[in-house]
């Protein structure tokens, strides 16, 4: 049984009808419940719930403190390569983009890792474009082996792997993985991914599950907000969370809520997500899934991220460069960025902002033995 079957069973017309039927009174009743159903989560994404963000924020804050305390975990991405065999039409690294292609060797990767470690961070996210030819499993495994002595948590965001491949990486020291579904709309997915291995929608949707089965400790999923109507994407992401929580209760699960940013290919999103809508999505996730990690990246502005500290977010990136080698090589900046970031504050500045708000920045919350 795969989450795909649950997704296929959804009737979007019925979902829209339900969303429109929700009233403020319904929302007031739902937020006060101890355990929420799928329908309750959907109700929190409704237009009516969008008019009660203050109320949602109070409940989300309470649940966040109850389950996570006053903490925000910090991490940073390390871009190891930007070769990609896919044609995602919204991404600056896509196959036809004329961005300069770069791939770090192992000593470059170690130097990047040491530079990042020097900032105090202990959680790192390794990224590549999606090219098994240029960045094969052995390359990823070697990077994990090189970096795991330096970091308490090494995570990857790369192409889809099999359960066996994830097991191999876990043995090498892998702690976590991120896999964005991009959109949970299969028809739209086909249009946005005209060629390349990523075109396989079902394989993509099953990949986080393979990671769970292989013993990856922490798994992050999400949709790229702006590709499709946000309420549907948010709801389907929630269903995916629920599916994984039910079948893999021992996995530390998170959702990331990235909005499309400007990039080299100049893609304009059809459904740009407003700030209030992003906030509503995060609040609904927190209230419906109190144990869920919620990640907000530097795609968001400093202003936005500062205000989200109290509203249910648990992880933030800091000291970010989306250029390959961007932590050590100044010349890499601007030549190979996947997308423009919005919040370029250093780790030190992010930690200071978090402390100023009465929260504790967490550099390490896990040690692989
Ligand atoms: S989103 Fe990922 S897979 Fe798609 S073009 Fe960009 S790097 Fe490649």
Q: Convert the pLDDT of each residue in 283-292 to its tens digit.
A: 999 999 999 9
Closest-CA residue, ligand 1 atom 7, reads 129
pLDDT digits 0-9 by tens, 3-28: 999 999 999 999 999 999 999 999 99
> For residue 340, what pLDDT is reported?
66
pLDDT > 90 fraction of the chain, expressed in percent and rounded: 85
Average pLDDT over every residue of 253-261: 93
Q: Render 164-229 in DSSP notation, one character per residue.
A: HHHHHHHHHTEEEEEEEEE-S-HHHHHHH--SSGGG-HHHHHHHHHHHHHHT-SEEEEEE-BTSS-
Burial state string for 72-94 with b = 16 or more CB within 10 A and e = fewer than 16: bbbbbbbbbbbbbbbbbebbbbb
pLDDT of residue 333: 43
Is pLDDT of 167 > 80?
yes
- Residue 174 pLDDT class (50, 70, 90 cuts): very high
Q: Indicate whether residue 93 lines ligand 1 (CB < 6 A).
A: yes
Contacts 24+ apart (CB under 8 A), 29-35: 31/55, 31/56, 31/59, 31/287, 32/59
CB of residue 79 inside a 6 A radius of ligand 1: no
Q: Round the average pLDDT of the chain to a whole number and report it.
A: 93
Residue of 106, 84, 128 lying closest to 322 (CA atoms):
128
Indicate the pLDDT class of residue 336, thresholds 50, 70 and 90: low
Does the CB atom of residue 94 touch ligand 1 within 6 A? Answer: yes
Residue 266: pLDDT band with limits 50, 70, 90: confident
Q: What confidence category does residue 334 fall into, taking pLDDT thresholds of 50, 70 and 90?
A: very low
pLDDT of residue 369: 61
Cβ pair 24, 48 in contact under 8 A: yes
Q: Is the CB of 86 under 6 A from ligand 1?
A: yes
Distance (angstroms) between ligand 1 centre and the Cα of 129 equals 6
pLDDT(335) > 60: no
Confidence (pLDDT) at 263:
64
Q: What is the pLDDT of residues 72-114, one digit of tens each?
A: 999 999 999 999 999 999 988 899 888 899 999 999 999 999 9
Residue 129 CB less than 6 A away from ligand 1: yes
**Residue 124 parent element (H or E):** strand 123-127
pLDDT at 264: 56
Q: What pLDDT score does 268 carry?
A: 86
The alpha carbon of 183 and the centre of ligand 1 are apart by a number of angstroms equal to 13
- Mean pLDDT along residues 176-193: 97
Query: What long-range pairs does 54-58 form, CB within 8 A, spacing at least 24?
Result: 55/27, 55/28, 55/31, 56/27, 56/31, 56/280, 56/283, 56/284, 56/287, 57/279, 57/283, 57/310, 57/311
For residue 337 and ligand 1, the question of a CB distance below 6 A is answered with no
84 pocket-lining for ligand 1 (C-beta < 6 Å): yes
Question: Would the pLDDT of 171 be above 80?
Answer: yes
| Region 331-342 average pLDDT | 58
Rounded distance from Cα 221 to ligand 1 centre (Å): 15
Contact 168, 142 (CB under 8 A): no
DSSP, res 46:
S
Distance 263 CA to ligand 1 centre (A): 12
Mutation test residue for ligand 1: of 85, 93, 222, the one with most atoms within 8 Å of CB: 93
Say what the pTM is: 0.95
**338 pLDDT above the threshold of 70:** no
Q: What is the C-alpha to C-alpha distance for residues 93 and 265, in angstroms, rounded to an integer?
A: 9
For 215-247, the pLDDT digits (tens) are 999 999 999 999 999 999 999 999 999 999 999
Most confident of 87-101, 128-142, 262-276, 331-345: 128-142
What residue ranges define each of the domains in the chain, with the CATH number in brackets? 3-362 (3.20.20.70)
């Amino acid at each position: 049984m795969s989450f795909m079957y649950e997704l296929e069973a959804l009737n979007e017309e019925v979902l829209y009808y339900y969303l429109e039927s929700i009233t403020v009174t319904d929302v007031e009743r739902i937020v006060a419940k101890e355990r929420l159903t799928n329908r309750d989560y959907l109700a929190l994404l409704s237009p009516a719930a969008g008019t009660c963000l203050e109320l949602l924020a109070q409940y989300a804050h309470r649940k966040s403190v109850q389950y996570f305390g006053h903490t925000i975990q910090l991490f940073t991405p390390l871009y190891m390569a930007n070769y990609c065999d896919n044609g995602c039409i919204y991404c600056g690294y896509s196959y036809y983009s004329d961005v300069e292609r770069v791939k770090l060797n192992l000593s470059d990767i170690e130097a990047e890792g040491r530079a990042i470690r020097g900032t105090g961070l202990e959680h790192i996210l390794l990224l590549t474009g999606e090219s098994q030819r240029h960045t094969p499993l052995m390359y990823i495994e070697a990077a994990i082996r090189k970096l795991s002595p330096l970091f308490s948590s090494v995570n990857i965001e790369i192409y889809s792997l099999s359960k066996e491949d994830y097991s191999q990486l876990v043995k090498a020291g892998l702690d976590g993985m991120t896999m964005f579904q991009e959109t949970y709309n299969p028809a739209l997915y086909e249009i946005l991914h005209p060629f390349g291995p990523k075109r396989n929608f079902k394989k993509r949707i099953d990949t986080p599950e393979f990671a769970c089965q292989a013993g990856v400790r922490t798994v992050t999923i999400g949709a790229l907000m702006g590709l499709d109507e946000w309420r549907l994407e948010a709801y389907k992401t929630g269903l995916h969370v629920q599916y994984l929580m039910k079948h893999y209760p021992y996995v530390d699960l998170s959702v990331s809520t990235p909005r499309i940013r400007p990039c080299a290919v100049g893609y304009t999103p059809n459904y740009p997500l407003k700030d209030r809508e992003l906030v509503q999505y995060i609040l609904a996730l927190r209230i419906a899934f109190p144990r869920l990690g919620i990640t907000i990246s530097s795609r968001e502005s400093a202003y936005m991220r500062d205000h989200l500290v109290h509203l249910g977010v648990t992880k933030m990136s800091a000291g970010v460069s989306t250029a390959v080698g961007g932590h050590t090589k100044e010349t890499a900046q601007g030549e190979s960025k996947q997308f423009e970031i919005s919040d370029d504050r250093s780790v030190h500045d992010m930690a200071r902002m978090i402390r100023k708000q009465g929260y504790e920045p967490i550099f390490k919350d896990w040690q692989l033995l």
